[in-house]
Amino acid sequence: MRIVLGLAVLLYAHLTWSAEALLIQSPQSEDDASYHYYVDLIFEVLKETQGEYGVAKLVETGSSYTQNRGLNALESDQLTIFWAGTDPKREKRYHVIRIPLMAGLLGMRVPVVHRSQYQKFLALESAEQLKQLTACQGTHWPDSYVLEQNGYRVERVTKFESMYSMLRQGRCDYFPRGIGEVHAELEHSMNQDMVAVDNLLLTYPMPMYVFLNKRNMQLAKRLEQGLNAMVERGDIFEFVRQHPATRGVFPLGKYHQAKLARLTNPLLSNSTELDNPLFWLQLSPTSEGGVLESE
């Protein structure tokens, strides 16, 4: 599979003036490296299905959205496609394509901390110690609810670009990032004072799904067909391994020595295919670093 990376929006926008325009949000900030991953993946899905459904182009609206606002924008047709973490209310209100876009890496979370706090996190021995510290998370991110329901302290933050600023200011202690997101973000010149604590992972199942307006069933059929074809060929896993935003996480064996803080996700519906091996990359059957147990 040849993966076309970067500039997907611009490339598709110039293919033809008659292409179907699909509205997507713009990046939340310069740090939002995972944005390009999702855009490039959707670009691949559109190419996969172009012969049957015709040419489409992805058009940035010029605005970024919190998860709740982005989902609401689907109903008013301000957006055509929105990707977000899932919960039962979202799955009931919108059409959801139940294929994890990042192959499960979103639920493998590494704490990002200011360099001055790195040694403190290396010394953590129990989940209870971690629970005494405060995590920055998005106001409307399902992850915030997951952490809170598992007994973790969370400072909910509206704007993505504020997360790293709050770490610098000491308003929160760590920012849990998916291992598929963190490496590209920390390469940004503005984040050189931040570091990932790679010997500690918070893990829970958290699929990132595509959501659409329920009226848009033709596009839903197209995206589901294209994603399923990529899944069946193993191309989703290959895409994750090759994309600039996610390739830094591989090989996953680098995390085998990490201590795991295992969390439950009460937001998953019964329709979540947790046992489908084509959907989820596995960190390891058992981590050699052990489990960060509660006291």
pLDDT tens readout for residues 179-205? 988 888 888 868 899 999 999 999 999
Percentage of the chain lying above the pLDDT 70 cut = 89
My answer on whether 211 and 78 are in the same domain is yes
Q: Read off the pLDDT of each residue in 144-152 and give the average, rounded to a whole number.
A: 97
Examine residue 147 and state whether it is found in any structural domain, yes or no. yes
Whether residue 176 is predicted with pLDDT greater than 50 in this model: the reply is yes
Neighbouring CB atoms inside 10 A of 285's CB total 6
Whether residue 292 is predicted with pLDDT greater than 70 in this model: the reply is no
Examine residue 1 and state whether it is found in any structural domain, yes or no. no
My answer on whether 258 and 159 are in the same domain is yes
The β-bridge relationship of strands 134-138 and 153-157 is parallel
My answer on whether 19 and 57 are in the same domain is yes
Which band of pLDDT confidence, cut at 50, 70 and 90, is reported for residue 3? low
Q: Read off the pLDDT of each residue in 126-132 and give the average, rounded to a whole number.
A: 95
My answer on whether 198 and 55 are in the same domain is no
Q: Using CA atoms, how far apart are residues 29 and 7, in angstroms rounded to an integer?
A: 16
Whether residue 108 is predicted with pLDDT greater than 80 in this model: the reply is yes
My answer on whether 87 and 147 are in the same domain is no
Q: Using CA atoms, how far apart are residues 6 and 264, in angstroms rounded to an integer?
A: 34
Give the start-end residues of each E strand in the chain.
Answer: 20-24, 56-60, 82-85, 95-97, 108-114, 134-138, 153-157, 175-178, 194-196, 200-203, 208-212, 259-262
Examine residue 233 and state whether it is found in any structural domain, yes or no. yes
DSSP state, residue 91: H
Whether residue 14 is predicted with pLDDT greater than 60 in this model: the reply is no
The β-bridge relationship of strands 108-114 and 175-178 is antiparallel
Q: Using CA atoms, how far apart are residues 245 and 188, in angstroms rounded to an integer?
A: 11
Whether residue 168 is predicted with pLDDT greater than 70 in this model: the reply is yes
What's the confidence (pLDDT) of residue 159?
86
DSSP state, residue 99: S
pLDDT tens readout for residues 22-41? 999 999 777 677 899 999 99
Q: Using CA atoms, how far apart are residues 101 and 206, in angstroms rounded to an integer?
A: 10
Determine what percent of the chain falls in helix, strand and coil, rounding each to the nearest 5: 40, 20, 40
Whether residue 17 is predicted with pLDDT greater than 80 in this model: the reply is no
Would you call the peptide bond into 285 cis, given omega within 30 degrees of 0 as the criterion? no
Examine residue 276 and state whether it is found in any structural domain, yes or no. no
What is the domain range of residue 53? Answer: 8-103+207-249
Q: Which residues have C-beta within 8 Å of that of residue 285, sequence separation ≥ 6?
A: none
Q: Read off the pLDDT of each residue in 96-104 and give the average, rounded to a whole number.
A: 96
For the chain, how big is the Rg over CA atoms in Å? 19
Burial of 237 (0-12, 13-18, 19+ CB in 10 A): middle
Q: The tokens of 61 are what? A: 């609206």
pLDDT averaged over every residue in the chain:
89
My answer on whether 217 and 94 are in the same domain is yes
DSSP-derived secondary structure for 165-179: HHHHHTSSSBEEEEH
My answer on whether 123 and 165 are in the same domain is yes
My answer on whether 148 and 26 are in the same domain is no
**What single letter denotes the amino acid at residue 138?**
G
Examine residue 53 and state whether it is found in any structural domain, yes or no. yes
My answer on whether 12 and 68 are in the same domain is yes
What's the confidence (pLDDT) of residue 19?
76
Give the CATH number for residue 63: 3.40.190.10
Of the ranges 5-14, 48-57, 63-72, 285-294, which one carries the lowest mean pLDDT score? Answer: 5-14
Inter-residue contact 80 to 22 (CB < 8 Å): yes
pLDDT tens readout for residues 216-263? 999 999 999 999 999 999 999 999 999 999 998 999 988 888 999 999
What's the confidence (pLDDT) of residue 151?
98
Residues in the chain: 295
Inter-residue contact 31 to 211 (CB < 8 Å): no
The total domain count for the chain is 2
My answer on whether 66 and 192 are in the same domain is no
Neighbouring CB atoms inside 10 A of 104's CB total 22
My answer on whether 162 and 258 are in the same domain is yes
My answer on whether 19 and 47 are in the same domain is yes
Q: Using CA atoms, how far apart are residues 233 and 252, in angstroms rounded to an integer?
A: 21
Examine residue 272 and state whether it is found in any structural domain, yes or no. no
Examine residue 269 and state whether it is found in any structural domain, yes or no. no
Examine residue 83 and state whether it is found in any structural domain, yes or no. yes
